[in-house]
């Protein structure tokens, strides 16, 4: 089956010197100019940047909603916004932060970094990757476009029935919400499949399972969690839209259904979702702690086992969101135990990171400072989480600001602080320039102070009985002071992001030049130029340890014999990463964009008529055939 004999005349990388090889590969793997070229690109780095920029725009949008809510709550009896708009704001804030920012931003970093870290030239299924981005973009634009046109979901980011049923919420708000779910989950599932395959099959030769960077292990576990969790929410949101559109009875207790079925399906996804959002944060932390401690992370094996344990346990917790729905006692006890148990692998990870810093020589650059902030905030959020796992406490503070404080400590502490660290850490790789350190440290002061001033008082407000999702409160309750404090903190916290935005723009123009490896890091993304060439590596490296860039010795072995004028990459075996196949990576194509567009039209149409699915499917099918049909005879060999 080998075509090697016939292909002998074609140019291979071994035939060329370094400079000519770089130029030729760059041409082969490059992205064409012009609108069609831009929309056709399959370069994982370009798509990763698009994912990240889009996610950050949604972060800004969700953040502005939060600020409007905090301004409303700063004083008692305030009428800055009315109850209806307030409901829309917290629904859009939660939905945007979870589905349009939290999940995609983790995927964004993986899409950009993972192929570099494992030493390959592109992500697996690069056209699917392009498709997933457009589907995500269209889903986000659809939700926000509808919002601008006053079609606004206002039933919370969880859209509980019966409130979300047609009887109680007429109009199209929840339908747009449900279809946005379908869009973003299609995108997240596609990226997860790409990550799994890239990690298992496209690692550089020699990168055996025990030499995979912890970042990559984390994103592998993250992808498996998505693969098993997201089908639940897709199923649930499809059931919801069918309930509203064609009159199914899944959640109607009078017709044999049950509103709790919605809650079970939602939280079967919703709790793993917390880890889907949090695990990329731990991936960033593992990379940053190792680099700035100047040693590999302490306890590689317990770290990997903890990740896998978190992956499994995250599916055994969902019912702790439903403690007040009247569960059998034995069920509640089981889910209390499992909710507390997940603190163990999380604790193992924290201790391994601390041991790494302890044993290393920590360099206090901005990325590491934000990681230290993460330790403090995330551990505080974890402790209130262990409290909430106990049914009596949960029953007492359910639907109060205590819960709001808890999950913002976990999600912002666990994800956003590592994310800011990651931005400072990988910015030089992406742009070739370092971000300003002085501004970075000021940003940390603003963010850490602002965050704690905002969210710590919410613990107290919750214990004082202030409920969530109320647009205002009477002065007699005595909640005014702490709320004013929280709102002041929110402005500080928001300002820290504006400072980061300024730092990014200014540094991209005139920051200090970074070079290939400004931090002296050990993983392969730092072995190539900043920003990397379209082909990522001129010659695919071979790996002999878990920290390839810290290896002593001059003999850096590389792969030779790949074609230069075709998009050829190396497929290796799953466990030992032995070279196995020279597989052709798909070339740029406009069809993924068109397929995403056709899918978007069908999905949006289905909000208004089920026939949109009937008429949309053949169109999508035709576009998909065009996508997959070989264009040249050479693609078959």
Partner 1 sequence: MARSVIDVSGLPTYAFGSRVTPWWGTFSFCLLEGTGFALGIGGYLYLAVTNKDWAKDAVPLSLLWSALFTLVLVVSALPNFLIKRAAMRESLRSVRLLLLIMSAIGLVLIGLRIMEFSALPVRWSDNAYGSFVWLLLGLHGVHVLTDVADTLVLAVLMFTRHGTGKRFSDAEDNAFYWYFVVLSWLPLYAVLYWLPRL
Residues 199-228 that bind partner 1 (CB under 8 A): 200-202, 205, 227-228
Q: Based on CB atoms, which residue is closest to partner 1, 482 or 602?
A: 602
CB of 57 to partner 1, least distance (A): 28
Candidate residues 9, 17, 35, 256; the one interacting with partner 1 per rule CB under 8 A: 256
CB 154 within 8 Å of CB 90: no
Span near partner 1 by CB under 8 A; candidates 187-195, 293-301, 349-357, 456-464: 187-195
Q: Based on CB atoms, which residue is closest to partner 1, 60 or 227?
A: 227
Q: Is 246 in the site for partner 1 (CB under 8 A)?
A: yes
CA torsion sign for 607, 611, 613, 617 is negative
With CA atoms as reference, report the closest residue to 54 among 109, 130, 117, 136.
Answer: 136
Candidate residues 22, 75, 172, 264; the one interacting with partner 1 per rule CB under 8 A: 264
CA 511 – CA 193 distance, rounded (Å): 36
From the CA atom positions of the chain, what is the Rg in Å? 25
Candidate residues 252, 472, 529, 544; the one interacting with partner 1 per rule CB under 8 A: 252
Q: Is 403 in the site for partner 1 (CB under 8 A)?
A: no
Q: Is the peptide bond before 421 cis (omega within 30 degrees of 0)?
A: no
CA 615 – CA 601 distance, rounded (Å): 10
CB of 593 to partner 1, least distance (A): 20
Q: Is 275 in the site for partner 1 (CB under 8 A)?
A: no
Candidate residues 60, 141, 197, 491; the one interacting with partner 1 per rule CB under 8 A: 197
Looking at residues 615 to 634 of the shown chain, list those that interact with partner 1 (rule: CB under 8 A): 621, 625, 628-630, 633
Span near partner 1 by CB under 8 A; candidates 82-90, 247-255, 507-515, 595-603: 247-255
Q: What backbone phi and psi angles, to 5 degrees, belong to 602? A: -65, -45
Span near partner 1 by CB under 8 A; candidates 278-286, 317-325, 362-370, 551-559: 551-559
- Sequence-ordered list of residues with C-beta below 8 angstroms from that of 129, at least 6 positions apart, any chain: 42, 44, 47, 111, 123, 190, 191, 194
CB of 71 to partner 1, least distance (A): 41
Candidate residues 302, 556, 590, 605; the one interacting with partner 1 per rule CB under 8 A: 556
Q: Is 303 in the site for partner 1 (CB under 8 A)?
A: no
Q: Is 259 in the site for partner 1 (CB under 8 A)?
A: no
Tell me the sheet residues that pair with 12: 563
Q: Total residues at the site for partner 1 (CB under 8 A)?
A: 74
Tell me the residue length of the chain: 637
CA 106 – CA 136 distance, rounded (Å): 13
Q: Based on CB atoms, which residue is closest to partner 1, 321 or 582?
A: 582
CA 162 – CA 168 distance, rounded (Å): 7
Token digits for 375? 């330790």
CB of 43 to partner 1, least distance (A): 18
CB of 17 to partner 1, least distance (A): 13
Span near partner 1 by CB under 8 A; candidates 79-87, 435-443, 501-509, 560-568: 560-568
Q: Which residue has the tokens 């800004």?
A: 60
- DSSP for 247-277, written as a single string: ---TT-GGGT--HHHHHHHHHHHHHHHHHHH
CB 427 within 8 Å of CB 507: yes
Looking at residues 73 to 132 of the shown chain, list those that interact with partner 1 (rule: CB under 8 A): 124-125
Looking at residues 23 to 82 of the shown chain, list those that interact with partner 1 (rule: CB under 8 A): none
Q: Based on CB atoms, which residue is closest to partner 1, 240 or 421?
A: 240
CB of 246 to partner 1, least distance (A): 7
Span near partner 1 by CB under 8 A; candidates 49-57, 193-201, 348-356, 519-527: 193-201
Q: Is 575 in the site for partner 1 (CB under 8 A)?
A: no
Q: Based on CB atoms, which residue is closest to partner 1, 392 or 630?
A: 630
Span near partner 1 by CB under 8 A; candidates 147-155, 319-327, 420-428, 550-558: 550-558
CA 195 – CA 137 distance, rounded (Å): 20
- Sequence-ordered list of residues with C-beta below 8 angstroms from that of 628, at least 6 positions apart, any chain: none
Candidate residues 302, 579, 597, 601; the one interacting with partner 1 per rule CB under 8 A: 579
Q: Is 189 in the site for partner 1 (CB under 8 A)?
A: yes
Token digits for 240? 């919801």
CA 409 – CA 259 distance, rounded (Å): 30
Candidate residues 257, 299, 316, 605; the one interacting with partner 1 per rule CB under 8 A: 257
Q: Based on CB atoms, which residue is closest to partner 1, 26 or 617?
A: 617
Tell me the sheet residues that pair with 534: none
Q: How far is CA 333 from CA 327, 385, 391, 429, 533, in A?
A: 10, 16, 8, 48, 54
CB of 451 to partner 1, least distance (A): 35
Candidate residues 55, 193, 290, 421; the one interacting with partner 1 per rule CB under 8 A: 193
Q: Based on CB atoms, which residue is closest to partner 1, 486 or 577?
A: 577
Q: Based on CB atoms, which residue is closest to partner 1, 252 or 488?
A: 252
User: Distance of alpha carbon 567 from its chain centroid, rounded?
Assistant: 28
Q: Output DSSP code: residue 400.
A: B
Looking at residues 143 to 162 of the shown chain, list those that interact with partner 1 (rule: CB under 8 A): none
Candidate residues 161, 212, 265, 623; the one interacting with partner 1 per rule CB under 8 A: 265
Residue 561: helix, strand or coil by DSSP? coil
**Binding pattern to partner 1, positions 226-245, x when CB under 8 A?**
-xx-xxx-xx---x--x---
CA 401 – CA 278 distance, rounded (Å): 21
401-411 and 437-463 helices, crossing angle to 10° = 150
CB of 573 to partner 1, least distance (A): 8
User: Distance of alpha carbon 525 from its chain centroid, rounded?
Assistant: 19
CA 187 – CA 132 distance, rounded (Å): 4
CA 450 – CA 486 distance, rounded (Å): 9
Q: Is 584 in the site for partner 1 (CB under 8 A)?
A: yes
């Amino acid at each position: 089956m080998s075509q090697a004999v016939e292909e002998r005349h074609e140019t291979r990388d071994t035939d060329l010197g370094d400079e000519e090889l770089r130029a030729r590969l760059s041409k082969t793997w490059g992205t064409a100019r012009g609108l069609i070229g831009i929309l056709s690109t399959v370069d994982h780095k370009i798509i990763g940047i698009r994912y990240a920029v889009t996610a950050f725009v949604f972060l800004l949008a969700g953040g502005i909603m939060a600020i409007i809510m905090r301004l409303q709550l700063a004083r008692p009896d305030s009428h800055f916004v009315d109850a209806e708009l307030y409901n829309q704001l917290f629904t859009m804030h939660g939905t945007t932060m979870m589905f349009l920012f939290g999940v995609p931003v983790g995927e964004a970093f993986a899409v950009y970094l993972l192929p570099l870290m494992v030493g390959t030239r592109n992500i697996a299924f690069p056209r699917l990757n392009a498709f997933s981005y457009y589907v995500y973009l269209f889903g986000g634009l659809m939700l926000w476009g509808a919002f601008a046109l006053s079609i606004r979901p206002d039933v919370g980011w969880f859209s509980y029935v019966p409130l979300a049923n047609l009887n109680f919420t007429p109009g199209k708000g929840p339908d747009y919400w449900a279809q946005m779910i379908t869009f973003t989950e299609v995108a997240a599932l596609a990226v997860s499949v790409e990550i799994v395959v890239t990690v298992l099959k496209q690692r550089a030769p020699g990168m055996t399972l025990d030499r995979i960077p912890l970042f990559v292990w984390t994103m592998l576990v993250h992808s498996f969690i998505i693969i098993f969790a997201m089908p639940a929410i897709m199923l649930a949101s499809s059931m919801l839209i069918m309930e509203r559109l064609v009159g199914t009875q899944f959640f109607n207790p009078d017709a044999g259904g049950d509103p709790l079925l919605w809650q079970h399906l939602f939280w079967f996804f919703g709790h793993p979702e917390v880890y889907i959002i949090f695990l990329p944060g731990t991936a960033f932390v593992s990379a940053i702690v190792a680099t700035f401690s100047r040693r590999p992370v302490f306890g590689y094996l317990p770290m990997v086992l903890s990740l896998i344990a978190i992956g499994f346990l995250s599916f055994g917790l969902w019912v702790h969101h439903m403690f007040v729905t009247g569960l059998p006692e034995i069920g509640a006890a089981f889910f209390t135990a499992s909710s507390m148990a997940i603190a163990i692998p999380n604790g193992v990870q924290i201790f391994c990171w601390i041991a790494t810093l302890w044993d290393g020589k920590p360099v206090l650059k901005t990325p590491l400072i934000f990681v230290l902030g993460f330790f403090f905030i995330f551990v505080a959020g974890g402790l209130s989480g262990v409290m909430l796992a106990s049914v009596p406490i949960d029953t007492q503070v359910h639907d109060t600001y205590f819960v709001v404080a808890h999950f913002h400590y976990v999600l912002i502490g666990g994800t956003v602080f590592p994310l800011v660290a990651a931005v400072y850490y990988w910015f030089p790789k992406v742009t070739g320039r370092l971000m300003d350190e002085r501004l970075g440290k000021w940003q940390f002061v603003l963010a850490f102070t602002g965050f704690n001033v905002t969210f710590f008082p919410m613990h107290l407000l919750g214990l004082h009985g202030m409920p969530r999702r109320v647009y205002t409160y009477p002065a007699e309750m005595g909640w005014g002071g702490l709320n004013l404090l929280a709102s002041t903190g929110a402005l500080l916290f928001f300002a820290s992001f504006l400072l980061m935005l300024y730092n990014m723009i200014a540094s991209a123009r005139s920051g200090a030049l970074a070079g290939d490896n400004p931090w002296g890091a050990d993983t392969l993304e730092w072995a190539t130029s900043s920003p990397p060439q379209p082909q990522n590596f001129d010659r695919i490296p071979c790996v002999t340890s878990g920290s390839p860039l810290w290896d002593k010795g001059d003999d850096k072995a590389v792969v030779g014999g790949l074609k230069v004028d075709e998009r050829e990459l190396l497929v290796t075996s799953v466990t030992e990463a032995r070279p196995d196949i020279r597989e052709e990576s798909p070339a740029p194509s406009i069809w993924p964009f068109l397929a995403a567009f056709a899918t978007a039209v069908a999905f949006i149409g289905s909000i208004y008529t089920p026939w949109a699915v009937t008429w949309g499917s053949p169109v999508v099918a035709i576009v998909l055939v065009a996508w997959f049909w070989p264009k040249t005879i050479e693609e078959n060999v």
